[in-house]
Structure 1
Amino acid sequence: MLASWTPPNDYRNRPVAILGAGVLGRRIGCIWASAGFDVRLRDPSPQQREDGIAYIKENVSIYAQKTGKKAGAVHAVESLEEAVSNCWLVIEAVPEKIQLKIDTFGELDTLAPADCILASNSSSYKSSEMLEKVSEVGKRRVLNMHYYMPPQNMVVELMTDGHTEEKIFSFMTDRCKEAATLPYVARKQSTGFIFNRLWAAVKRETLTILAEGVSAPEEIDSLWTEMFVKGGATPCRTMDDVGLDTVAFIESHYVEERGLSPEKTVDYLQARYINDGKLGTKSPLGGLYPPLPSEEKCLSKDRRLVVLDIGLSSATPSMKSGSIVEFSANGKFQHTLVENQSLPDGLAVDPQTGRLFWTNMGIPGKEDGSVLSYDPETKVVDTVVPTGTINTPKQLALDTTSNKLYFSDREGLCVYRCNIDGTELEKIVQAGNPQNSENAQDARNWCVGIAVAPELGKFYWTQKGPSKGGQGRIFCANISTPEGQLPSSRSDIECVQSGLPEPIDLEVDESNCWLYWTDRGEIPLGNSLNRVRLDKFGRCSVSQKPEVLARNFNETIGLKLDVENNSVYVTDLGGSIYRCDLTDESKSLLYADSSRAFTGIAFI
């Protein structure tokens, strides 16, 4: 009997079963295969099994561009018992017939391993409607896990059956991220989940507008594109900007004119927000979102944020869908500066000239990475370090005292620096031999983050370790390489921190001797913003415990300090930009768009 569900520690060595090889089933199978899991595709139809396997073999390499993993093996089977044997996850994607689903989950409750998670991809039925033949204990491992249409849309929504073990949601959220999907958890059972309910309201009102002759389809779509697609408007943020008291006033008019119930609109806003003075952006108490940073804490109006979008969450992701995007100080989308970039990752801006420098990772494992620059005055993109020279350049830092660029090369297992025109490219750290397969596959050698502190005479870098593996480290070395020493054996390298979940990008506050970094590893220490105090020589004891400033990001990557305003700006692969206060350790969401995946961030 399952006393308390425990996540399977060996899930990486166990298969995922997909029941149903139809249009969505084969795509779901492709998602999990691209994350390195062996997949069993079960369908009673030989033709469906054949077509499903063909789809996965043809497309898994495209999906795997997002995960960076070697694809798992895929097998098609007819027997349900064979399909679920030793699986850690089973996803039901059979036809939308409730009795078929009831019978399927009854069989799964008996056949699947006791710790195996049982999920339904259904959007029509709550998983609670499928439990008639499931034991009381079995109900605790069942949930809805609804996919939309990969690879164009990588969103997945998770929802309880009313009995689901709470630990399953945090476990599956992390596993979904491993598979390069964007998980959203419904906090309670809801017909239609989250997005379908949003879409239902939009669809219903659109049809009403058309039926009443107020507008035409092409006009509605054009207006939507201008306001929401190009304008980047989102429902909750827009209501806060309008003012919740104004929203309630407008809704009151609809309630009166249409004879609607005010319970979940006007009454909800009044009781939950307006009565407490939470009116939105204009209120110091905030609204649906927490308060925005005060004017004193914001960037000055003539400064903007510039952010890299890696492009892998876009509607049509490709190796050339990355871009550089400009935002206002408070996270309002302005415009796109540069497009068609190959997985941009690290970003720095010359404060004197405004020139942007960034890295393009290219395809990991191939020497097609590059460093480029952009002049905002002439709008010209120049090549600093061309392809064919470096492997997978990641974070990039600019030392304005020496006019040197520093960047880490993940698959190259090293750290480079060069002049801002790309000359005098030199390798200053070599963490391993990339030609040695054992060295190359050991993620403890992967150099990712980089920061330079000229006043302290040091530079710092992260070697992230395996995904969420707790083996990440941060190192430092002198800016001046010891005379006669090689990058692979220099004697001045010191370990600053070790045993970290998965440290990524770095920045140093030299004036106050703080080292900051993002970590995309496991909670409670991962998916966080952290810092540790340095001594006057730029060092710290490896045993010194780091301070966690903010948590609960969605695969956090980039950070940019604004010491003058006690702030640090953070990005994540979930498409969000945050401002974190260094005084009270609060976190404010400035921008969110799940169709974006942000990496580097800087001021311009």
Structure 2
Amino acid sequence: MPKALLALQVLPGKVLRVSLPDGRVHTLLEDAGPAPDGIAVDPAAVYWTTMGEPLTDPGTPGEAGQDFSRPNGGVHAVSPTGGRPRDLVPPGAMTTGKQLTTDGAGTLYWADREGRRISRVGADGTGLTDLVVNPAGTGIMGECVGVAIDVARGHLYWTQKGPAKGGKGRILRAGLEIPAGQSAENRTDVEVLWSDLPEPIDLHLDGDLLYWTDRGAPPAGNTLNRAPLPPAGAAGRRPEILADGFEEAIGLAVDGESGLAYVSDLRGHIRAVPLPDGPAAGREPYDLVRLPYPLTGLCLVDG
């Protein structure tokens, strides 16, 4: 069956549909709200997060002058064919929505960066629950960005990117359920799998392999990486760099069947990266899309 990518354009906020393999771009939703970042899909709907409107310092250019600490992010949904969007988590009920994923059975999971937490909600908007909450004192080191879930093993994975280009990023793991008698703020099953990464962003789990984008400083940053999942209590192996040279790598989608990974960046590129053990092995990475607007979240969709 033909596949497509759904991609988020940050400014102005839109949901885009990118045909594969030709890279034709169509707009699915003209107004996705302020600063959309994470996107997921199931047969019933397309879901995405928004970071909300930042406070802007006119004297500081770029991202450094944008303060997203106000609680005005949200989680939203629209029909796969477009139409009128609806709020699952209304703006103000969370801080900064980042990567979003689904378990395929009616539950959405996402990272809240300035909220320093991982949360979930039902696809009908009920059951809003925090799974991980880092203390306010952790500051930027406690900010969560990427998220992936492993339903079969009952695990949750997430990134904490640390300071920009700071080399202090981490990838962590915990159970999908909070241990009995514990809380999102105080749970004993959290493992740090990788540390001292340049600046890890979005995650994708494919079987026993974890993929992630990193927008940190080269040579290890602005890369697409993967590594096998470590067993309980073990640290992750040194990651394999599959591609580099991105311009602030963010979104990630992996198509194991075609042997391609797709990475979006803030320069408006979506690059296709052939996987070394897939049917496209040996081909060089190539730009599928080049747009004049920054892009964030990606996901694959059939049809």
Under a length normalisation based on structure 2, what TM-score does the superposition of the two structures give? 0.89
Among candidates 244, 262, 269, match of residue 569 of structure 1: 262
Among candidates 408, 411, 427, match of residue 130 of structure 2: 427
C-alpha offsets along residues 123-145 of structure 1, whole Å, 9 cap, x if unaligned?
A: xxxxxxxxxxxxxxxxxxxxxxx
Distance 1:543 1:453 in 2: 16
Distance 1:540 1:490, change over 3 A: closer
Secondary structure of the structure 1 residue equivalent to 2:146: strand
C-alpha offsets along residues 447-476 of structure 1, whole Å, 9 cap, x if unaligned?
A: 000001101210100000000100000001
Instruction: Please report how far the alpha carbon of residue 481 of structure 1 lies from its aligned counterpart in structure 2 after TM superposition.
Output: 1.2
8 Å Cα contact 2:28-2:82 kept in structure 1? no
Instruction: Please report how far the alpha carbon of residue 379 of structure 1 lies from its aligned counterpart in structure 2 after TM superposition.
Output: 1.8
Q: How does 1:130-529 map to 2 (within 5 A)?
A: 300=1, 302-311=2-11, 321-340=12-31, 341-350=33-42, 352-353=43-44, 355-362=45-52, 363=54, 364-377=68-81, 379-401=83-105, 403-433=106-136, 438-439=137-138, 442-510=139-207, 513-529=208-224
Q: List alignment gaps of at least 5 residues for structure 1.
A: 1-299, 312-320
Deviating more after overlay: 559-568 vs 521-530: 559-568
> Does the alignment pair 1:554 with 2:218?
no
Distance 1:328 1:365 in 2: 35
Distance 1:563 1:540 in 2: 28
Secondary structure of the structure 1 residue equivalent to 2:257: helix
8 Å Cα contact 1:581-1:587 kept in structure 2? yes
Q: Aligned pair count?
A: 281
Distance 1:601 1:331 in 2: 16
> Does the alignment pair 1:590 with 2:280?
no
Distance 1:429 1:366 in 2: 19
Distance 1:525 1:331 in 2: 30
Distance 1:540 1:588, change over 3 A: farther
Distance 1:360 1:330 in 2: 28
Instruction: Please report how far the alpha carbon of residue 477 of structure 1 lies from its aligned counterpart in structure 2 after TM superposition.
Output: 0.5
Q: List alignment gaps of at least 5 residues for structure 2.
A: 55-67
Q: Name the Cα RMSD after superposition.
A: 1.5
User: Equivalent residue for 1:599?
Assistant: 296
Secondary structure of the structure 1 residue equivalent to 2:224: strand
Distance 1:476 1:378 in 2: 35
Among candidates 216, 226, 231, match of residue 531 of structure 1: 226
The code of the aligned residue for 1:358 comes to: W
Instruction: Please report how far the alpha carbon of residue 332 of structure 1 lies from its aligned counterpart in structure 2 after TM superposition.
Output: 2.6
Structure number, greater radius of gyration: 1
8 Å Cα contact 1:497-1:541 kept in structure 2? no
8 Å Cα contact 2:131-2:177 kept in structure 1? no
Which structure has the highest strand share of the two? 2
Distance 1:582 1:339 in 2: 33
8 Å Cα contact 1:395-1:408 kept in structure 2? yes
8 Å Cα contact 2:73-2:95 kept in structure 1? yes
Distance 2:256 2:82 in 1: 30
User: Equivalent residue for 1:30?
Assistant: none
User: Equivalent residue for 2:234?
Assistant: 541
Distance 1:527 1:540 in 2: 28
Instruction: Please report how far the alpha carbon of residue 378 of structure 1 lies from its aligned counterpart in structure 2 after TM superposition.
Output: 6.0
8 Å Cα contact 1:534-1:540 kept in structure 2? no
C-alpha offsets along residues 169-198 of structure 1, whole Å, 9 cap, x if unaligned?
A: xxxxxxxxxxxxxxxxxxxxxxxxxxxxxx
8 Å Cα contact 2:191-2:233 kept in structure 1? no
Q: How does 1:26-175 map to 2 (within 5 A)?
A: none
Which structure has the highest helix share of the two? 1
Secondary structure of the structure 2 residue equivalent to 1:327: strand
8 Å Cα contact 2:29-2:82 kept in structure 1? no
